[in-house]
Structure 1
Amino acid sequence: MQALLKLASTIDAINRFIGKHVIWLILASTLISAINAVVRKAFNISSNAFLEVQWYLFAATFMLAAGYTLLNGEHVKIDVIYGRLKKRTQTWIDIFGFVFFLLPVCAGVLWFSTPFFLNGFNSGEMSGNVGGLIRWPVYAVMPLGFALLWLQGVAEVIKRVAFLQGLIDDPTVKKVDKTAEEELAEAIQRLAQAKTAQTKSA
């Protein structure tokens, strides 16, 4: 079981790293949207590429952060009954849901989306819009995102089984003190301070 817990910890670390960095894509999408709006209004110049790259970045954010969202228990739950049950019963329900619903669905999407991505990659499929982008990068985030979500599902099953065996504390108790937005704001502040320090030293 210790080897499985180590695997779960590794998966957690991977999704935590990706989740904390993929939020920058939201900032990039926002900046691109703002620049596109300013250029279109000021110079009457625009391109479908600006619009499509925003969709790509949003798709990447949504898909690549799915595993991180599961790690932090932030997916929507309807727990009218679930929330009133004992912790061990909740844990068994979680395990059942992961094993019989989440993992098979992720595996099915992986099975069908991987050839879809490979076909787009091999054909060099382009957007049908004038000035649009190549399609395979956005196709790639589907199998990649579901692979990360599948891995996180495996990690959650391992942790819940270990919890039932009394090997670890409750894995559903959140240990994150700061939200992703707060972490992003702090990262931007650190970058600004570093640039200020570089300017002063120069």
Structure 2
Amino acid sequence: MNALRALASAVDAVNEGIGRVVSWLALVLVVVQFGIVLMRYVYGVGAIAVQESILIMHGVLFLVAAGYALLYDAHVRVDVFYGEAKPRKKAMVDLFGCIVFLAPFIYVIWDVAFPYVASSWAVKEASNETSGLPGIYLFKTTILAFTVLVGLQGVALALRSILVIAGLAETNKSRTGGAA
């Protein structure tokens, strides 16, 4: 059982590190957006590549930080079965959710996204705009990163839930509240 706990902790550490790094992208995104507004409305200059960078940063922020959000239980939850439940019942609900909802969702996203990303890599896809960004295929790869990071965090949550159900842990939450 210590191996399960160690595996869950390793996944937590990966998502923690990635989440803390990528959270700084929110600040960069705000600064770049301010720069775009300043360039456009004060100086009358538009830059398509910079405008596209906002879309890409926004996508990367949400896709790559999704595992971090799951780590901190920050996703939207309907507390019908969960609200005031005891930790064992919460663990059962979480395990059920991981198996019945999260795992199939991650599988479908991966299954649909993989050919999409592979075809983008095959042609080294760039922006359709004349002065747009190159390397759009790199951005599309974050869809696969999303599935891996959220999938791994789901496995960690499921492992912790199993430990609680078996009476080997008090709670399946490794973290509470956001730290970024």
Q: TM-score w.r.t. structure 2 length?
A: 0.91
User: 1:116-139 deviations in whole A, cap 9, x for unaligned?
Assistant: 112111202222233222321220
Q: Unpaired segments of 5 or more residues in structure 2?
A: none
Displacement, 1:175? 4.4
The question of 1:154 aligning with 2:179 is answered no
1:198 matched to which residue of 2? Answer: none
3-state DSSP of counterpart to 1:51: helix
Displacement, 1:141? 0.7
Q: Take 1:130 and 1:53, find their aligned partners in 2: how far apart are those partners?
A: 14
Aligned residues: 179
Q: Take 1:13 and 1:170, find their aligned partners in 2: how far apart are those partners?
A: 18
For residues 126 and 174 of structure 1, do their structure 2 counterparts lie closer, same or farther at Cα, with a shift above 3 Å needed? Answer: closer
Q: Which has the higher helix share?
A: 1
Q: Give 1:61-76 correspondences, 5 Å limit.
A: 61-76=61-76
User: 1:85-107 deviations in whole A, cap 9, x for unaligned?
Assistant: 34322211210110111012102
User: 1:13-53 deviations in whole A, cap 9, x for unaligned?
Assistant: 00000111111111111111111221223332111111110
2:124 matched to which residue of 1? Answer: 124
What is the identity, as a one-letter code, of the residue corresponding to 2:94?
Answer: D
Q: TM-score w.r.t. structure 1 length?
A: 0.82
1:193 matched to which residue of 2? Answer: none
CA RMSD of aligned residues (A): 1.7
Of the two, which has the highest radius of gyration?
1
109-118 or 5-14: bigger deviation: 109-118
Higher relative contact order (CA 8 A, sep 6+): 2
User: 1:48-87 deviations in whole A, cap 9, x for unaligned?
Assistant: 1111101101111101111111111111011134324343
The question of 1:41 aligning with 2:41 is answered yes
1:112 matched to which residue of 2? Answer: 112
What is the identity, as a one-letter code, of the residue corresponding to 1:117?
Answer: V
3-state DSSP of counterpart to 1:83: coil
3-state DSSP of counterpart to 1:78: coil
Q: Take 1:33 and 1:116, find their aligned partners in 2: how far apart are those partners?
A: 29
